């Protein structure tokens, strides 16, 4: 299974996938890693692992549809079987989603359908839930609304800050993501 991974930030989920592939625990080929954020740590992790990288920053395009099309073309250029959004923090338009329909996976740091969007950890904490977690799901044209592939629960502690809770979620997220990719690849 050939995958292209899109990242916007620190790329620890990407690193978990890279490590699992290197360890022979995951039979996928990471064809390339792309980002909307030039110089982000996720791109550096990919480059350090000898993986091809590309950057498509929205600021380089006159409109959002043009940026979407450019990113879509860059991803399609690697002919992936699957596109993985691993901490990719921008919404892709319907055309992009349709191009990879049923072949695009996202990871979200909350138990969907609760707390979708960019602040799933903060929103769960503010709501006062006692259990939150992580969801790996297929991407559809909504925001974090696609069919759920896997979930893991994480207890919320009384003392939790957003950062502390997110870090504990990410420990489970990395495991669940690798496990889900393993199932998809087989």
Per CB under 6 A, contacts with ligand GRF among 118-147 are none
Catalytic residue status for 108:
yes
> Contact letters (x/-) for ligand GRF, 62-101, by CB under 6 A?
------------------------xx--------------
Choose which of 3, 12, 125, 149 interacts with ligand GRF (CB under 6 A): 12
Within 10 A of 15 (CB to CB), how many other CB atoms are there?
19
Residue 58 lies near ligand GRF (rule: CB under 6 A) = no
108 vs 160 by CB, closer to ligand GRF: 108
Q: Cβ-count burial of 176 within 10 angstroms (0-12 exposed, 13-18 middle, 19+ buried)?
A: buried
- Strand order of the β-sheet with 2-7 is 53-55, 29-35, 2-7, 82-85, 104-108, 131-138, 148-155
Residues 6+ apart with CB under 8 A from 143: 91, 116, 117
Choose which of 36, 144, 160, 173 interacts with ligand GRF (CB under 6 A): 173
Q: Which residues fall in the annotated binding site?
A: 11-13, 64, 89-92, 106
Q: Which residues are known catalytic residues?
A: 108
């Amino acid at each position: 299974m050939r995958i292209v991974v899109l990242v916007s930030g620190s790329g620890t989920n990407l690193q978990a996938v890279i490590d699992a592939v290197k360890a022979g625990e995951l039979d996928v080929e990471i064809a390339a890693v792309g980002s909307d954020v030039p110089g982000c740590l996720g791109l550096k992790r990919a480059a350090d692992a000898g993986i091809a990288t590309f950057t498509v920053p929205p600021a380089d395009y006159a409109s959002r549809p043009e940026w979407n099309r450019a990113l879509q073309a860059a991803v399609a250029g690697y002919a992936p079987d699957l596109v993985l959004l691993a901490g990719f923090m921008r919404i892709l338009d319907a055309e992009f989603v349709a191009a990879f329909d049923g072949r695009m996976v996202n990871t979200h740091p909350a138990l969907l359908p609760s707390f979708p969007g960019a602040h799933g950890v903060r929103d769960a904490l503010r709501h006062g839930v006692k259990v939150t977690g992580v969801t790996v799901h297929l991407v559809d044209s909504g925001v974090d609304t696609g069919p759920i592939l896997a979930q893991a629960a994480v207890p919320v502690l009384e003392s939790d800050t957003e950062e502390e809770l997110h870090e504990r979620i990410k420990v489970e997220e990395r495991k669940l993501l690798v496990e889900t990719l393993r199932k998809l690849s087989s």
